[in-house]
Amino acid sequence: MGRLHQGVSKDRWAVIPRVLCFLFHENEVLLMRRASHRAVFPDRYNGLGGHVEPGEDLRTAARREIREETGLEIGTLQLAGLILVDTGEAPGVLIGVFVGEAPERRTGMTAEGMLAWVPMDQVLELPVVEDFPELWPRVLRFRETREPFFLSYTYDPKDRLIVREG
């Protein structure tokens, strides 16, 4: 099928692809506390990740983001789930959520923020990003079952997050 047969047109809903990665080592997960000067999620904890670049697939983008943010080369990365975000504006966002095992524990400051290894049972005690309390149990469930999750994020009229699972 050629590119002209992909069904792409201006009246179709489009998404910006992103990746979110959770690296584990024993009973800890590597999170980043976003720098206070960052426009998005300042001083909040989240996994690693970012935008997919042209020509990349989701896993390649996840590996690149991990390497850029930590210096780590990760062997196996598994797609744990997909999240479609509809903000009410075009385009939307598609997030591929990945999990992997870190070969070693690295910490430190980066341009994005501070890397920290956090015991898995203490993660929700931290100031995390808005969707983290919904996402974290699904990531842990994937590690046990290897069954991926599929989420849809929308917002109500008061800009509160609504999470639906498919």
pLDDT, mean of residues 113-120: 95
Reported as a single tens digit per residue, the pLDDT across 44-94 is 999 999 999 999 999 999 999 999 999 999 989 999 999 999 999 889 999
Q: Helix, strand or coil for residue 107?
A: coil
Residue 157 pLDDT exceeds 90: yes
Residue 36 pLDDT exceeds 80: no
Neighbouring residues of 7: CB distance < 8 A, sequence distance ≥ 6: none
Contact 161, 153 (CB under 8 A): yes
Residue 114 pLDDT exceeds 90: yes
CA distance 53 to 20: 14
Domain 13-165 = CATH 3.90.79.10: yes
Domain locations in the chain as residue ranges: 13-165
